[in-house]
Amino acid sequence: MKSPYSLSEARVLYELAHRDEPSAKEIGTELGLDAGYLSRIVQSFDEGGLIIRKPLASDRRQYQLALTAKGRQAQATLERSSQDEVGAMLAKLSATDRRRLTEAMATIENLLEPPERTGPSFLLRSHRVGDMGWVISRQSIAYANEYGWDISYEALVAEICAQFIKNYDPAREHCWIAEADGKPFGSVFLVRASDELAKLRLLLVEKEARGLGVGRALVEQCVRSAREKGYKKMTLWTQSILVAARGIYQRVGFQRVAEEKHHSFGVDLTGETWELQL
C-alpha cells in the first residue's frame, strides 16, 4: 500500500481513530512498541498537526492522545486505500470463494482467540444476496416475541429494505451484517437522507449475541463510515422501550432531540429522535 506513513505509524493512527482518547502508554502496550520509538511517532504527529495531546489528570507525565480533523482525514485516506487494495484482491475471487475466505478467516480467529476473551469472535461484513430477507425475518420475529409488535412492523422493515436495495448508493450508503462461523446475528444500515445528513436504521442484535459488544461495534462502524463518507450529522428514530439500544447510542455520542407518543405496530409507544454531530 502506497503511504507516507510507516506500518507502525499507520497502526498508531488506526488505534487513535478507534479509541476514545487513549494514553500514549496504552497505545504502546497494545501495539508492543518501544517507548522511545512511540515517543518519536507522537512527536512527529504532533508537529504535523495530526494529533492533540493533553496531560492525564491522574499522572501529568502521561498524555491522552486524540486525532485532529487533519489526523482523521489522514487515517480515513489510509483506510480507504487499504480497503481498495483488499477489494481488488477479493474482486478476483468468485462470490462463493469470497464467502469461503471470510468464513475461514473467522474460524482462524476463533481458534487463535486469547483464552481470556469471552464470547465468540465476530466479523462485520457487507450485505449480500439473501441478507435483506434475513433482516426482515429476524427484525419482525424479534420485536413480535419481545415487545408484542404486530405484522405491520414487518411491512415497514420490508419497505425500508426494498428501498435500500432499489436506491443503493455504495458511495454514500452501506449495510453491515455481524456474523460468527458463517451465521448472521446482527445488522445495521447507513442510509442517505441528504448530502449532509445520514440515517442509522434497523440496528439488530440477536438475543444469543447480546452483551458481547456486537451492537456497539455495529453502531460505531456506522458512525465511522458516515464520517468517512463526508456526512455532517447522523439521525435515528428509536423507541423509549429499547433501553439497550438507547444506551449504545448515548455512549457513542448521540443525543435525544425529540420524543412523541404514538400508536404503531399494534402497541402504544414513545418514539424518540436522536442526533449526532459528526
The three cell numbers locating residue 31: 501495539
* Residue-wise pLDDT tens digits, 15-62: 888 777 788 888 888 888 888 888 898 889 889 898 888 887 777 777
* Residue-wise pLDDT tens digits, 50-90: 888 888 777 777 778 888 888 887 877 787 777 778 778 88
Last residue of a domain, one of 23, 47, 79: 79
| Same domain for 230 and 139 | yes
Q: How many domains does the chain have?
A: 2
Residue 155: give the domain boundaries: 122-277
* Residue-wise pLDDT tens digits, 111-148: 776 544 455 578 999 999 999 999 999 999 999 988 88
Pair 211, 119: CB distance under 8 Å? yes
| Same domain for 129 and 69 | no
* Residue-wise pLDDT tens digits, 226-262: 999 999 999 999 998 888 898 899 888 899 999 999 9
| Same domain for 176 and 70 | no
Instruction: Please report the pLDDT score of residue 70 as a whole number.
Output: 83
| Same domain for 53 and 168 | no
Asked if the structure places residue 222 within a domain, the reply is: yes
Q: Residue 86, Cβ neighbours under 10 Å: how many?
A: 11
Asked if the structure places residue 90 within a domain, the reply is: no
Asked if the structure places residue 96 within a domain, the reply is: no
Q: Cα separation of 52 and 64, whole Å? A: 8
As a three-state string, the secondary structure of the chain is CCCCCCHHHHHHHHHHHCCCCCEHHHHHHHHCCCHHHHHHHHHHHHHCCCEEEEECCCCCCCEEEEECHHHHHHHHHHHHHHHHHHHHHHHCCCHHHHHHHHHHHHHHHHHCCCCCCCCCCCEEEECCCCHHHHHHHHHHHHHHHHHCCCHHHHHHHHHHHHHHHHCCCCCCCEEEEEEECCEEEEEEEEEECCCCEEEEEEEEECHHHCCCCHHHHHHHHHHHHHHHCCCCEEEEEEECCCHHHHHHHHHHCCEEEEEEEEEECCEEEEEEEEEEEC
Q: What is the CATH number of the domain that holds 43?
A: 1.10.10.10
| Same domain for 53 and 184 | no
| Same domain for 193 and 251 | yes
Which amino acid appears at position 115 of this protein? Answer: P
Q: pTM of the entire structure? A: 0.58
Asked if the structure places residue 108 within a domain, the reply is: no
Instruction: Please report the pLDDT score of residue 1 as a whole number.
Output: 56
Q: What is the CATH number of the domain that holds 232?
A: 3.40.630.30
The three cell numbers locating residue 260: 412523541
Asked if the structure places residue 2 within a domain, the reply is: no
The three cell numbers locating residue 190: 447507513
Instruction: Please report the pLDDT score of residue 189 as a whole number.
Output: 98
Instruction: Please report the pLDDT score of residue 151 as a whole number.
Output: 96
**In what side-by-side order are the strands of the sheet with 267-277?**
123-126, 174-180, 183-192, 197-205, 233-239, 267-277, 255-264
